[in-house]
């Protein structure tokens, strides 16, 4: 298969379209030198357009390049892409790709958005479920940054039940290997420095319009424990107890609500997490995960590949429950050689592997770089 055939098969018809599918026959054998104690992952955005035969070829490419596990986006905060009984269903995509991926020797972990909810019926009927900022504005009315930042409040049992239903449904799918939590956090109170210009903002401190959650339940629960209404704090960002209260609310959902559901079904629980965890109230070093995937997107932090290694090393050491750490790499931010170097520096820094974001950004050359890196680890 030549490069032109590769481009035709992936539908690469113009600049900026990402390669999605195949490697040439020269890469047909699995990386025999791969370290069996490592695991490589790739996030796959929802794609219901490809045929089963196309998915078979795509999965062969991934497996041949050293990928062990895939993270298909099965719930995007609006609709589910499996046969859900409690969410709007777009198309049963998971049921289509799951047996094909398993035949290819890949683990399948369902990627779901966790705290954001853009299901119209939920937003309309249960507006009290959603976070409120320090100005008293609900994320249903005035979401931060982008319109889909309608986050559920992690203090509410009704929210735990709603999220738990999705996790329960996924956990009951026999061939599925695990559930992968994304957006398991609050809205960003401070964006990574490299992203702030995109939104034409400067966040040199915590500003009230981005600071969540100040709903009645959060304020009441915090006041019961401390005697303080957080709305009355002169500088909420400096109050250790108030920050820890919010960290603990998200940790409770992971450790006490969702983990038991997933493990009862004999499956794994993983999560996409932030290196700047305090800025999203996400103390993931205290989570009882089977794998953590910090999104080490260096460009967002005005950093280079060496920073990926430094962060990986620090995060491995920080894990209270010794969760494996898989460095999340933004493929679109990395050149072919940089991708290979990022994989190698992650391995050398104590990581258990890497996770690529995303399959849609993997070109012919990048798959080659990935395969080369995993054989050199």
Residue 297 in contact with residue 330, Cβ under 8 Å? yes
Tokens of 265: 């079904």
Q: Cβ distance 294 to 273 under 8 Å?
A: yes
* pLDDT exceeds 50 at position 51: yes
> φ and ψ at 9, to 5 degrees?
-65, -30
**Which residue blocks in the chain are alpha helix, DSSP H?**
3-10, 52-64, 93-103, 120-125, 157-171, 216-226, 240-252, 259-264, 305-318, 336-348, 364-376
Q: Phi, psi (5° rounding) for residue 317? A: -65, -25
Q: Is 336 a member of any domain?
A: yes
User: Do 352 and 323 meet the contact criterion of CB atoms below 8 Å apart?
Assistant: no
pLDDT of residue 21: 31
Domain region containing 234 = 37-376
**pLDDT for position 37:** 77
**Residues 213-271: pLDDT tens digits?**
999 999 999 999 999 999 999 999 999 999 999 999 999 999 999 999 999 999 999 99
In the predicted model, what is the mean pLDDT of residues 98-111?
98
In a domain, 271, yes or no: yes
Q: pLDDT tens across 2-39, in order?
A: 444 434 333 332 323 333 332 333 233 333 456 667 99
- Segment 112-170, tens digit of pLDDT: 999 999 999 999 999 999 999 999 999 999 999 999 999 999 999 999 999 999 999 99
Query: What's the number of domains the chain is made of?
Result: 1
The reported pLDDT for the residue numbered 36 is 65
- Residue 183 gets the label, from left (phi > 0), alpha (psi -120 to 50) or beta, of left
Domain presence at residue 17: no
Residue 28: the pLDDT is 34
Residue 84 CB coordination number (10 Å)? 19
Whether residue 168 contacts residue 87, with contact meaning beta carbons closer than 8 Å, is answered with no
pLDDT value, residue 335: 95
- Strand 268-273 and strand 326-330: the pairing is unpaired
Among residues 47, 115, 26, the alpha carbon closest in space to that of 359 is found at 47
Per-residue pLDDT of 81-101, as tens digits, reads 999 999 999 999 999 999 999
Residue 28 lies in a domain: no
- Predicted confidence at residue 118, as pLDDT, reads 98
CATH number for 62:
3.20.20.80
Residue 64 covered by a domain = yes
Over residues 284-314, the pLDDT tens digits come to 999 999 999 999 999 999 999 999 999 999 9
pLDDT attached to residue 33:
53
| Contact (Cβ atoms closer than 8 angstroms) between residue 308 and residue 216 | no
Supply the Cα-derived Rg of the chain in whole angstroms: 21
pTM metric for this prediction? 0.92
pLDDT digits (tens, 9 = 90+) for 205-215: 999 999 999 99
**Is 133 within the bounds of a domain?**
yes
**Kind plus residue range of the DSSP H or E element containing 273:** strand 268-273
Angle at 350 between CA 348 and CA 355, to 5 degrees: 90
- Is it the case that residue 319 has pLDDT exceeding 60? yes
pLDDT bucket at 340, cuts 50 / 70 / 90:
very high
The per-residue pLDDT for 12 is 32
Mean pLDDT, the chain, rounded, equals 92
* Contact status, residue 350 vs residue 323, Cβ threshold 8 Å: no
């Amino acid at each position: 298969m030549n490069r032109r055939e590769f481009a035709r098969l992936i539908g690469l018809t113009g600049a900026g379209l990402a390669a999605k599918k195949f490697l040439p026959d020269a890469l047909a054998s699995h990386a025999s030198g791969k370290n069996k104690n490592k695991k490589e992952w790739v996030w796959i955005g929802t794609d219901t357009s490809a045929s089963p035969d196309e998915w078979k070829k795509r999965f062969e490419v991934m497996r041949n390049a050293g990928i062990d596990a895939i993270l298909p986006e099965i719930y995007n905060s609006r609709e589910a892409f499996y046969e859900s009984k409690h969410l709007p269903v777009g198309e049963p995509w998971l049921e289509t790709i799951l047996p094909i991926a398993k035949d290819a020797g890949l683990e399948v972990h369902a990627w779901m958005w966790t705290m954001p909810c853009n299901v119209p019926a939920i937003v309309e009927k249960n507006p009290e479920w959603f976070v409120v900022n320090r100005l008293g504005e609900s994320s249903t009315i005035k979401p931060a940054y982008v319109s889909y930042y309608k986050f559920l409040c992690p203090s509410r049992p009704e929210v735990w039940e709603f999220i738990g239903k999705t996790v329960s449904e996924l956990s009951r799918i026999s061939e599925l290997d695990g559930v992968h939590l994304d957006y398991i956090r609050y809205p960003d109170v401070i964006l990574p420095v490299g992203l702030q210009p995109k939104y034409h903002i400067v966040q040199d401190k915590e500003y009230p319009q981005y600071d969540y959650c100040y709903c009645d339940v959060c304020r009441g629960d915090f006041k019961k424990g401390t005697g303080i209404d957080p709305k009355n704090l002169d500088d909420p960002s400096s109050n250790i107890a108030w920050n820890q209260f919010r960290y603990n609310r998200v940790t409770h959902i992971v450790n006490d609500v969702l983990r038991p559901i997933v493990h009862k079904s004999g499956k794994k629980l993983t999560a996409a997490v932030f290196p700047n965890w305090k800025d999203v109230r996400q103390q993931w070093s205290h989570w009882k995960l089977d794998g953590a995937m910090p999104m080490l997107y260096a460009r967002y932090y005005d950093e280079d590949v060496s920073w990926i290694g430094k962060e990986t090393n620090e995060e491995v050491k920080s894990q209270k429950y010794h969760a494996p750490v898989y460095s999340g790499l933004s493929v679109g931010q990395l050149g072919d050689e940089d991708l290979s170097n990022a994989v190698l520096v992650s391995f050398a820094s104590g990581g258990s592997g890497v996770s690529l974001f995303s399959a849609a950004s993997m070109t012919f050359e990048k798959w080659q770089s990935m395969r080369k890196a995993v054989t050199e680890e």
